[in-house]
Amino acid sequence: MEYETMLDEAYKKIKLVTTSSERFEIPKVTGHISGNNTIISNINHIAGYLRRPVEHLTKFLQKELAVFGRIDNGRLSLKTKLNSAKVNEKISKYSKEFVECSVCGKPDTEIVSEKGIKFKHCLACGAKSPVKYHL
């Protein structure tokens, strides 16, 4: 096989990271309180921005806030009254643990599993660090 052909195949398999000077800023939660429930209407937008499955983020929030919740029509309904600052704080904690690189601090990571151990693999610097928090 020619070198150029092999190189083209290799480039097709790697994930590209776009370098930008913009700051990584997680969107703030929007929602309301309905009775004894807290409704977060932009949970899909936040999970998409973090590039993580909404189910994973939801599970983390439920565990951290010690509350039952479910996703219904693209909204997260938590079975307690919460203020948005508390939820934003937990989403920030999620980002530090599951999204931001421990070495370079960039959010260009993916979660990979090797031999049953989950790692954050940074697509920007190549670092690999274990995820300490298990869901």
Domain residue spans of the chain: 30-99, 102-135
* Cα–Cα distance, 60 to 57 (Å, whole number): 5
As assigned by CATH, the class of the 30-99 domain is: alpha beta
**pTM exceeds 0.85, yes or no:** no
| pLDDT for residue 4 | 83
Express as a percent the part of the chain with pLDDT over 90. Answer: 50
Residues 81-106 have pLDDT tens digits of 998 899 999 999 999 999 999 888 88
What does the pLDDT average to over 25-48?
A: 92
| pLDDT for residue 115 | 86
Binning pLDDT at 50, 70 and 90, where does residue 21 land? very low
Is residue 19's pLDDT more than 90? no
Is residue 67's pLDDT more than 50? yes
* Cα–Cα distance, 32 to 79 (Å, whole number): 12
* Burial of 50 per CB tally in 10 Å (0-12, 13-18, 19+): buried
Nearest CA-CA partner of 131 in 105, 82, 106, 96: 96
